[in-house]
C-alpha cells in the first residue's frame, strides 16, 4: 500500500509501520495531490514499489472553515486545487496506470447536503467531484 501524505511524514510513517507489523507491504509517498507533477510522482512510486496499481482510495480534502464574506481567495484556490483538481489528477493517473480489474474507492464529506455559514469555500466543488467519480466509474466498466 502506498500511504500518501502532504505534510505529516510522522503519521504516514506510523501508518506504514502498522501495516508492516500486520504483515502487509507499505511505503509512504509525499505528494500534493493538487500538483500534477507530484500526483504523477505518487503513482510512479507506487508502481515502482508494487508493480501495479490495483486500488485507489480517493479521500484527500481540506475543509478550511470561514465565512465567504472574508473573501480569502488564496484559501478558496487551495480548496479547489486539493479537493477538485486533486480528484481529477488522481482519477487521470488511475485511468492511465490501473490494471483492468482495478477499483477506485472515493470518499467525500456530507457538505453538499449541509449548508453551514462556514462551508462556502468547499460546497461549490462537490458536484464536480461527483461528476469525476461517475466518469471514472464508466471508464473502468467500459
Tens of pLDDT, residue by residue over 3-31, are 999 999 999 999 999 999 999 999 999 99
Q: 98-106 and 53-58: which strand pairing?
A: parallel
Task: Give the Cα separation of 43 and 13 in Å (integer).
Answer: 18
What CATH number does the domain located at 53-141 have? 3.40.50.720
- Mean pLDDT over all residues of the chain? 82
* pLDDT exceeds 80 at position 67: no
Q: Per DSSP, which regions of the chain are E strands?
A: 2-5, 27-30, 53-58, 98-106
Residue 142: predicted pLDDT: 46
| Number of DSSP helices (H) and strands (E) in the chain, helices first | 5, 4
Amino acid at each position: 500500500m502506498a500511504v500518501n501524505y502532504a505534510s505529516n511524514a510522522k503519521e504516514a510513517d506510523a501508518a506504514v509501520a502498522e501495516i508492516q507489523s500486520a504483515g502487509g507491504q507499505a511505503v509512504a509517498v509525499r505528494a500534493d495531490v493538487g500538483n500534477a507533477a507530484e500526483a504523477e510522482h505518487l503513482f510512479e512510486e507506487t508502481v515502482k514499489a508494487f508493480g501495479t496499481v490495483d486500488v485507489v482510495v480517493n479521500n484527500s480534502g481540506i475543509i478550511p472553515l470561514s465565512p465567504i464574506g472574508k473573501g480569502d481567495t488564496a484559501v478558496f484556490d487551495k480548496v479547489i486545487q486539493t479537493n477538485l483538481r486533486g480528484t481529477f489528477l488522481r482519477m487521470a493517473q488511475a485511468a492511465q496506470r490501473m490494471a483492468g480489474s482495478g477499483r477506485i474507492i472515493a470518499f467525500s464529506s456530507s457538505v453538499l447536503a449541509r449548508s453551514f455559514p462556514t462551508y462556502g469555500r468547499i460546497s461549490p466543488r462537490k458536484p464536480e467531484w461527483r461528476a469525476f467519480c461517475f466518469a471514472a466509474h464508466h471508464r473502468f466498466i467500459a
